[in-house]
Structure 1
Amino acid sequence: MEIKHIETCKNLIKNAENIVVLTGAGISTESGIKDFRSRTGVYQIAPEYILSLDYFYQKPREFYQFALDHLYHPDAVPNIGHEILAKWEREGKVIHIITQNIDGLHQKAGSNNVIEFHGTMKTASCLHCGESYSTEEMVNRYQTIDEFYVCDQCDTSHKSERFIKPDVVLFGDTGKWFTVEGFNTILHMIEDADCVLVLGTSLKVTPFSTFPQYRRQGIPLIIINIGETPYDTERNTYLIQESIGKCLSLMDEKLGN
C-alpha cells in the first residue's frame, strides 16, 4: 500500500464535512459474507436468473431456499470498516451511506443515515396487502408450512398475487429508491457532498454505478476496491486497491493525530 495515497485521502477526509459513502459487497466480504460475482462468489448460475422476479414467481420455494442459504446472514457482525464509518458519522464527517448490500451490517455497526438501495433481507412483504413478515418468521414458515410463501392475512383469486417476497430488489423488480423521487433524493445527496467515498464495489451495475458522476466538478472521489471501476482514471479520483478495513483504520488513525 502506498502511504502517500493514504496520506492524501486522509487529508481529503479530514477537510470534508459532508462525505457521501457508496458501498458494495467488498465491505461485507471482510465480515465473511461471500460476494456475488467473483470466482469465489455464491452463484453457480447467473444471478440475473435466480434472483429475478420471474424465477421467484415460477419457483418460490427454490428461490427462498437459495436466498435463505446465501443472502441471509443473521449471525454476521460488522467489521472495522463498518465501525469506522459509524464513528465518522457520529463525528459529523459521514452524512449518508448508500449501499448495495442487503445485510444490514452498517446499521448493526451504528450508522443511522443508511439508504439500502437494493433493499433488505431483514423482512418480507405480501405483494397484495403489504403485510410484513420478519425473515425469522419466514424461516419458521419455510420449515413448517407447505405454501409458506403465500400470505394468510388476505385473499385473492390467484395465490401468486399474494406471494410474500423478501424486501430486496430483484432483477425485473423495482424498489422505493428506483422511483423518480427516490432517485432525485440520492442525486441531491451526491451533489451536496464535498467528498465521495466508494468502498468495495466495481460500480458496474446500473443505476447505482452512475451515482459518482453526479458529484460537483472538482469534488474528490476516493475509491477503495480490489478490482477496477469505470472511474479509476478520472480527474480528482484517488484509487487504493487494498483491504477496506486496513485502509480506513490507517486513515482514522491519522485523523486522530
Structure 2
Amino acid sequence: MENKLKEICINIIGHAKNIVVLTGAGISTESGIQDFRSRTGIYQMSPEYILSLEYFLKHPKEFYQFSLENLYHPDALPNIGHEILARWEKVGKVSHLITQNIDGLHQKAGSQNVIEFHGTMKTCSCINCRKIYSTEEMINRLNTMKEFYICSNCLTKNRTERFIKPDVVLFGGAGDWFTIEGFNTIIDQIHQADCVLVLGTSLKVTPFSTFPQYRRDDVPLIIINKGDTPYDNKKDTYVIKESIGEVLSLINASLEL
C-alpha cells in the first residue's frame, strides 16, 4: 500500500466513530475457506444451479452432500481481519457489520452487531413449520436416515413443504433480510455511517452490491479487495488491492488500538 493512501485511510478510520463494514468471501479466504467467485473458487467445479432453490427442491440429498462439503466449515477459525473488526466494534469505531458470508467467523471473533445478509450454515429449518435443526443434527440424520431432509415434526401432507432447508439464501430464494423492513434497516445504518469499509467482495451480486450507494455525500468508501468492483472510481473512494489481514493490521497498529 502506497504511503499516501495508507496515511489517508489511517486518518479516515482514526477519526471515524460510526463505521459500517460490508464483508464478502475475501475475508474468509484468509481463514482457509474457499472463495466462490475467484478463478480457483468452487463455482469453477460446479454451476450456480447446485445452490439454487430449484435444485434443492428437486435433489435435496445431493444438495446437502454438496453444501456440507463446500459451505460448512465448523472448524474454521477467525483470522486477524475478523479479530480487528471485533476490536474496532468494542472501542466504538465499528457500529454495524453486514456480511455475505455464512461461516459465522465474525461472531466467533467477537463481533456483536452482525447482519448475516445471506443467512447461516449453522442451522436448518423446515420450510413449513419452521422447526429448527442444528447442522450437526442434520449430519447425523443424513448418516442414519434415508429421507433425513423430511421434517419429523411437520404434519402437512405436502412432502416438499416438509423439506428441511439450510438457513442460507439460495439462488431463486430470499432470506430474512430480503424485506422492506430489512432493507430499510440496512440503508439507514449505511446512511448514518461516517465511513463505509468494504472487505473482500467484488460488489457484483445484487442486492448486496447496491448498499454502498446509500452512504451520504462526502462519506469516504474504503475498499480492500484483490479484484475490481463497480465502485473503484467513484468519488471519495479509496481502493487497496492487498491482503485484508495485512492492511487492517497495519492500520490498527498505526492507530494503536
Instruction: Tell me the equivalent position of 2:208.
Output: 208
TM-superposed CA distance for 1:114, in Å, is: 0.2
Task: Report the TM-score, using the length of structure 2 for normalisation.
Answer: 0.98
Q: Give the gaps of 5 or more residues in structure 1.
A: none
Q: 1 CA distance for matches of 2:8 and 2:110?
A: 27
1:200 is displaced (CA, Å) by: 0.1
Question: Counterparts of 2:133 and 2:101 in 1: how far apart (Å)?
Answer: 20
- Alignment partner, residue 35 of structure 2: 35
Query: Which residue is 2:103 aligned to?
Result: 103
For 2:11, give the aligned amino acid.
N
Deviation readout 1:187-242 (Å, 9 max, x if unpaired)? 00000000000000000000000000000000000000000000001110000000
Task: Quote the residue 1:45 is aligned against.
Answer: 46
Following superposition, which runs of at least 4 residues in structure 1 exceed 4 angstroms of deviation? Answer: none
In 2, the alpha carbon distance for the partners of 1:154 and 1:179 equals 26
**Partner Cα distance (1:56, 1:31) in 2:** 28
Q: Which residue of 2 aligns with 1:63?
A: 63
Instruction: Say which SS state the counterpart of residue 229 (structure 1) adopts.
Output: coil
Give the percent of matched residue pairs that are identical in Structure 1 and Structure 2.
Answer: 70
Question: For structure 1, which segment, 104-113 or 168-177, has the greater mean C-alpha deviation from structure 2 after superposition?
Answer: 168-177
Cα RMSD (Å): 0.8
Alignment correspondent of 1:136? 136
Work out the CA distance in 2 between the residues paired with 1:246 and 1:68: 30
Consecutive unaligned residues in structure 2, runs of 5 or more: none
Give 1:145 shift.
0.6
Is residue 33 of structure 2 the alignment partner of residue 24 of structure 1? no
Letter in 2 for 1:85: L
CA distance in 2, matches of 1:34, 1:135: 19
1:6: Cα distance to partner? 1.7
Distance 1:158 1:218 in 2: 53
Displacement of 1:4 in angstroms is 2.0
Residue matched to 1:243: 243
User: Cα offset for 1:3?
Assistant: 2.4
Q: Helix, strand or coil for the counterpart of 2:42?
A: coil
Q: Does 1:113 align with 2:109?
A: no
* TM superposition shift of 1:46: 2.0
Question: C-alpha separation between the residues in 2 aligned to 1:225 and 1:237?
Answer: 13
Identify which range, 152-161 or 167-176, moves more after superposition.
152-161
Tell me the matched-pair count: 256
Q: In 2, distance between residues paired with 1:76 and 1:6?
A: 30
